[in-house]
Structure 1
Amino acid sequence: MAATTDTGVDFRTRLQTWLPKLVLSPSLAVMLIFVYGFIAFTIYLSFTDSRMLPSYNWVGWDNYERLFRVREWNIALTNLAIFASLYIIICTLIGLTLAILLDQKIRGEGVLRPIFLYPMALSFIVTGTAWKWMLDPAIGLENTMNLWGWESFTFNWIKDREMAIYTIVIAAVWQSSGFVMAMFLAGLRGIDNEILKAAQMDGASNFQMYRRIILPQLRPAFLSAFVILSHLAIKSYDLVIALTGGGPGNATALPATFMYSYTFTRNQMGIGAASAVIMLMTIAAIMVPYLYAELREKK
């Protein structure tokens, strides 16, 4: 009887151990094939002379050398530098400011917090379409101001090759600032109040407390915001397509739009794969040190 009981316990123990693995194994297999498998396939294609269809003729680093001689790619990199730097800096400043204001226990915080977070719940396609309507001189802000009597008011950045990239920044900042605010607000609420009370008893002003105590303790939030915003900036595609379509001309083209264009419309799959690999390596260069630091800190 005891042996039968022990056998039943062992069976249940093994079942509890293996059942989660069995349940998760199909998802894991699909992820390995359709994520990591296709990443490996894309890397392989970047070293071949693939054009409209995959080819297996090895050409080495030729696609990467040709890529940096393509004018559109260099324009996309310049646009990415402008967009990413402004996007990250402005989102961080706005998010931090909103978090500090909400941390003052102001009345209506429960209403303001979801309002600030709401844009992040929208897809980038919806955001791009809405801002395209608002910035269109014929139907948007400029037309509205003219109808209200300010006939000299002009705001045609979306049609201006020199200013169009900044419309992408405006829309992206509007969507992501609330999310950054939430990260900073969580960091502020996690600071030990005893430290702040001790600083106040020592005569520290609010400015000194923020500069010497609060902001240094928000370092993890700053780092997380930088990593997430950098990742969003590098892979930005749908927002650009919905808002400007990459135009006027190539004025708002980014690496993601370049990759799609060369892979699916210009039939240069090898060059498109090379641009995708460079984007992947750039994201990895940001994510891997961050994850390593996080894991080492937990240990």
Structure 2
Amino acid sequence: MVDRLREWVPRLVLAPSFLLILVFVYGFILYSGYLSMTNSRMLPSNDWIGVANYVKLFKLKHWNTALINLGLFGFLYIAISSCLGLLLAILLDQKIRAEGVLRPIFLYPMALSFIVTGTAWKWFLDPGIGIEATMHAWGWESFQFNWIKDRSMAIYTVVIAAVWQSSGFVMAMFLAGLRGVDTEILKAAEMEGASKFRIYRKIVIPMMRPVFLSAFVVLAHLAIKAYDLVIALTGGGPGRATELPATFMYSYTFTRNQMGVGASSAIIMLVMIFSIIIPYLYSEMKSGDSK
């Protein structure tokens, strides 16, 4: 009897959470997929129209703009965050005396919500009260930094804020990977006369391939579902210069009352995330089996 209780108590404790996840996560995903194939507008509808919403979606200029912005934002966000995170990790890996102080400073931005980050950077980048106004007050009247008001440059302000938020987290991932490298290999390379730069380029960084892959998956996931940072920083503007799929989905579902089109964009975003996560899980399982 005691053994049976030990077996069933954990299942009973986890059952409510499992049921809630099953309904409110996977159930709503399936429901969104159903809505994407109906003529739902302000309210859900059972008027089945198949893939018409998907065809309409890819004919919308706003959606194509959102995809282009996502490609640019995602590439720069992932590349800069990865490079900066790696550089910071290598810096801290040198056993510098101030590591205990610098590490939490670099990690602090990740503790903030994207709403706070977006609002703070909106103030910093606003020409009237931010960096430009400060430089003018210091006497540098010719200084200009109005990217947040410029349609062609506004998307880069989103990149700046996102990189500031995430690079410390990426640094922590790379630092854990660096601390896991076998020191005997590094000592052998040093005895052979290899420079620090060559050791990192030829030995350390290639050994950290799983960390690079994990960082890519995390950052790509954050880029695809980026919403609150954009809303707080630029509101998707000026115009639609910083429109991303997540902001498009919200506006078409709740502002334009095109629930079917909004649901179809949400499913496309889900497919994007799956296209990243599934190969990652496959590679992890394959590497685990090989061990």
Identify whether the pair has TM-score above 0.5, normalized to the shorter chain: yes
- TM alignment of 1:248-263, pairs within 5 A: 248-263=238-253
What is aligned with 2:142? 152
Q: Does 1:102 align with 2:92?
A: yes
Q: For 2:269 and 2:48, locate their aligned partners in 1 and report how far apart those are by CA, in whole Å.
A: 21
What is aligned with 2:2? 12
What is aligned with 2:188? 198
1:210 to 176, 180, 200: 200
SS at match of 1:150: coil
- 1:208 CA displacement: 1.8
SS at match of 1:185: helix
Worse-superposed segment, 178-187 or 204-213? 204-213
- 1:295 CA displacement: 2.5
What is aligned with 2:62? 72
SS at match of 2:49: coil
Q: For 2:202 and 2:154, locate their aligned partners in 1 and report how far apart those are by CA, in whole Å.
A: 39
What is aligned with 1:91? 81
Gaps of 5+ in 1: 1-10
Gaps of 5+ in 2: none
- TM alignment of 1:261-280, pairs within 5 A: 261-280=251-270
What is aligned with 1:237? 227
* Amino acid aligned to 2:125: L
Q: Does 1:33 align with 2:23?
A: yes
What is aligned with 1:6? none
Q: Does 1:166 align with 2:167?
A: no
Q: For 1:110 and 1:130, locate their aligned partners in 2 and report how far apart those are by CA, in whole Å.
A: 26
Q: For 1:267 and 1:65, locate their aligned partners in 2 and report how far apart those are by CA, in whole Å.
A: 18
Q: For 1:288 and 1:91, locate their aligned partners in 2 and report how far apart those are by CA, in whole Å.
A: 23
Q: For 2:191 and 2:88, locate their aligned partners in 1 and report how far apart those are by CA, in whole Å.
A: 27
- 1:225 CA displacement: 0.7
- 1:205 CA displacement: 1.8
- TM alignment of 1:102-181, pairs within 5 A: 102-181=92-171
Over aligned residue pairs, what C-alpha RMSD do you find?
0.7
* Amino acid aligned to 2:52: D
- 1:57 CA displacement: 1.3
Worse-superposed segment, 138-147 or 287-296? 287-296
Q: For 1:89 and 1:165, locate their aligned partners in 2 and report how far apart those are by CA, in whole Å.
A: 15
2:216 to 218, 226, 249: 226
What is aligned with 2:177? 187
- 1:293 CA displacement: 1.6
Q: For 2:230 and 2:154, locate their aligned partners in 1 and report how far apart those are by CA, in whole Å.
A: 10
Q: For 2:219 and 2:267, locate their aligned partners in 1 and report how far apart those are by CA, in whole Å.
A: 19
Q: For 2:76 and 2:133, locate their aligned partners in 1 and report how far apart those are by CA, in whole Å.
A: 27
- 1:276 CA displacement: 0.3
Structure 1: 4+ residue segments shifted above 4 A: none
- 1:298 CA displacement: 2.5
Q: For 2:100 and 2:197, locate their aligned partners in 1 and report how far apart those are by CA, in whole Å.
A: 26
* TM-score, structure 1 normalization: 0.96
SS at match of 1:60: coil
What is aligned with 2:236? 246
Q: For 2:13 and 2:77, locate their aligned partners in 1 and report how far apart those are by CA, in whole Å.
A: 41
What is aligned with 1:3? none
What is aligned with 1:285? 275
- 1:160 CA displacement: 0.5
SS at match of 1:154: coil
- 1:296 CA displacement: 2.8
How many matched pairs? 289
Q: For 1:147 and 1:201, locate their aligned partners in 2 and report how far apart those are by CA, in whole Å.
A: 55
Q: For 2:192 and 2:135, locate their aligned partners in 1 and report how far apart those are by CA, in whole Å.
A: 53
Q: What do residues 4-54 of structure 1 show as CA deviations (whole Å, max 9, x unaligned)?
A: xxxxxxx11111111000000000000000000000000011111111111
Q: For 1:233 and 1:93, locate their aligned partners in 2 and report how far apart those are by CA, in whole Å.
A: 16
Task: Quote the sequence identity (%).
Answer: 71
